[in-house]
Structure formats: structure tokens, C-alpha cells
Structure 1
Amino acid sequence: LEDGLPKLEKTINLGFRFDLILVSAVWMHLAPTHRERAFRKLANLLAPNGRLVISLRHGDFSDGRKAYPVSVEELEKFAKNRALMVRNVSLDDDQLQRTGVSWQTIVMSLPDDGS
């Protein structure tokens, strides 16, 4: 399945809910004006008790790719607005040992409301 943020039309049209959604090394490529919409769509795809995991890359790109600043605080705000709970935030060095690059991973979940 080939799809893309922020629309996710093909994925949404499947009608599925997911226990885990991983957004790895993507978020910083989304323009800030598209992020809230993208987050809403991702949150709506979660099953009860489902987890949304987003990795954030901090540092410049030397290969010409477009990237925007990212923050855990932005994701925490989006999570609060969509009733997701932040479960864990981690900070890691870059596995490729690039100078000035680090990663944060935020794990959020959709509580099961019993319905």
C-alpha cells in the first residue's frame, strides 16, 4: 500500500484500526502547517489501546532534503487535543554517528474507553 501524509486517503479508505502505527524518520519532512491534520488522521486510525510511535530527527540534512524543526512539545500538544496519552519519550544518539544529529522517540496511546 502506497500512501502519504497528511492525507492518508488509501489507508483511511481501508476502514481498519491499527494497534501500532510507526512514523519513523518522516515527521520532520512534513511542513508545520500539515502536522496537526496529519496527527489527527493518525490518531483516528488507532484501535483502542493502540500505540502511535513517532521518531523525531534533530539536526541538519546535508543531502538537500527539505526538513523542518520538530519538537516533543508539539506532539504532546497534539496528543492532548486528541485524547492520547504520552507513554514514553526517549532521546538517542544517531546510529549512523552523524555529527549534530540526534533522535527522539515519543510513544503515545489511545486509552480504551470501554465502548
Structure 2
Amino acid sequence: MITKGTQGYGAEADRLAHEYESLPSEDVFRDVLHLIPGKPGRVLDIGAGTGRDAAAFAVRGHAVTAVEPTPELLAHARRLHAGAGIAWLDDTLPDLAAVQGTFDLVTLVAVFMHLDAGERPRAMRRLAGLLEPAGVALLTLRHGPTPQGRHMFDIPDEETVAHAAGAGLSVVHRSTWNDLLGRPGVSWTTLALTPAEAP
């Protein structure tokens, strides 16, 4: 599914696949590992890339649906993690029309930054509708210079927090961390969101 947010990724898919797979999923989620359900449940990985995180969740016994709109990355994911029992979908935010049901965990690693100002509140409302009442969404925001040829935005944390509140989600965790690939000037924020009425 070709969208503005995927531009530039297909041409670099081979390099990116090596990059993505070089980072352990546990390192990406190290600040929020305690929020990942220990009991097997339903997991949705939005913008799954090469399927690195989806595969890590599947190993934990979760039923995983992985969404990736870049055909070249999706092909790598299917090859690298064949047999992992992951359901692969070609779909994208803000609508995720092909995704059905609700989930105990939804992840958006390096995804929200590709949505423009008009798409972000819609995407957050869609995200809220995908969560089980006690579910959690783990979302990362990229800060720093935009690579040439990418449709990408440095979104202020507080804007995303406000969109979450407007969609009925509460922030239960926020942390910042340096880029794991060592890219100059790049840092990240991780937000964990739950339905506001969650226990």
C-alpha cells in the first residue's frame, strides 16, 4: 500500500532490514517491558517493518497481527519470520481498514512520525478503538532531523498526549532515550497509553 509515509522505504528496504534486525526488540521496549502482557493475548504491531517485534511477541505466545504497508519490507518480514505464526496485513494508519477486532497490546514503533497534522488525531481515535478495556498501546515518537526524501515530522510529545486525551486514552508511562543506531541529533520518546477508564 503506497502512502506518503512509506516514501523512501522501499528503495532502501535491504539496508533497513539489516538495520532493524540488528536491534533486539527487548532494547527497543526496555523502558516498558513491564507493560507488555505476560499472559498470551492479542497483539497488533502497526508499521511492523521487518517483523522483528512481531516475532518477539509471537515467541512469548501472543497471537500477533503485523501491519506493514511497504511491500519490500513486508517481503523481508515474511521471509525472515516465516513459520512464526504471524498474520501479515498490508494496511496503514490513520484508518487501518483491514484490521478487525480489539487487542491487548498495540505497538507503533517509529510510525506516528509519518502522519501529518490532519491524520494524527484520526489515527489516535482509531488506536483507542483497537484497545481492549485493559489494553495498552506503546508508541514511540522520533525527534531530530528528517532524512532526505521522507514524509516525516518531529511531533512534540505534548501534542501527542493531547490527542491521546481527546481519544479517551491516559498516559501511564513516558520516557526519552537516545537513538539506538547512534544517528546524530536523533532521540525518541516512548508513550504508554491505556483507555482512561482502565483499572
Quick check: 2:107–2:138 contact (8 Å CA) kept in 1? yes
Once the 2 structures are TM-superposed, how far is the Cα of residue 112 of structure 1 from its aligned partner?
Answer: 3.5
- Post-superposition Cα deviations, 1:6-28, rounded to whole Å, max 9, x if no partner, equal 111000xx2x1101110110111
Q: Does 1:7 align with 2:95?
A: yes
Aligned to 2:128: 43
Quick check: 2:106–2:131 contact (8 Å CA) kept in 1? yes
Quick check: 1:32–1:68 contact (8 Å CA) kept in 2? no
How far apart, in 1, do the equivalents of 2:161 and 2:131 lie? 17
Q: Report percent identity of matched pairs.
A: 39
Q: Does 1:33 align with 2:118?
A: yes
Select which of 169, 182, 190 maps to 1:105. Answer: 190
Query: In structure 1, what residue type is equivalent to 2:97?
Result: E
Q: Does 1:18 align with 2:18?
A: no
Q: Greater helix share, 1 or 2?
A: 2
Aligned to 1:9, the other structure's residue is in SS state coil
Aligned to 2:74: none
**Structure 1: gaps (5+ residues):** none
Query: In structure 1, what residue type is equivalent to 2:138?
Result: V
Select which of 44, 54, 59 maps to 2:139. Answer: 54
Once the 2 structures are TM-superposed, how far is the Cα of residue 75 of structure 1 from its aligned partner?
Answer: 1.6
How far apart, in 2, do the equivalents of 1:81 and 1:30 lie? 17
Q: Greater strand share, 1 or 2?
A: 1
How far apart, in 2, do the equivalents of 1:41 and 1:20 lie? 14
How far apart, in 1, do the equivalents of 2:165 and 2:94 lie? 19
When Rg is computed on C-alpha atoms for both structures, the one with the higher figure is: 2
TM-score, normalised by the number of residues in structure 1: 0.89
TM-score, normalised by the number of residues in structure 2: 0.53
How far apart, in 1, do the equivalents of 2:174 and 2:131 lie? 19
Q: What's the Cα RMSD here?
A: 1.4
Aligned to 1:68: 153
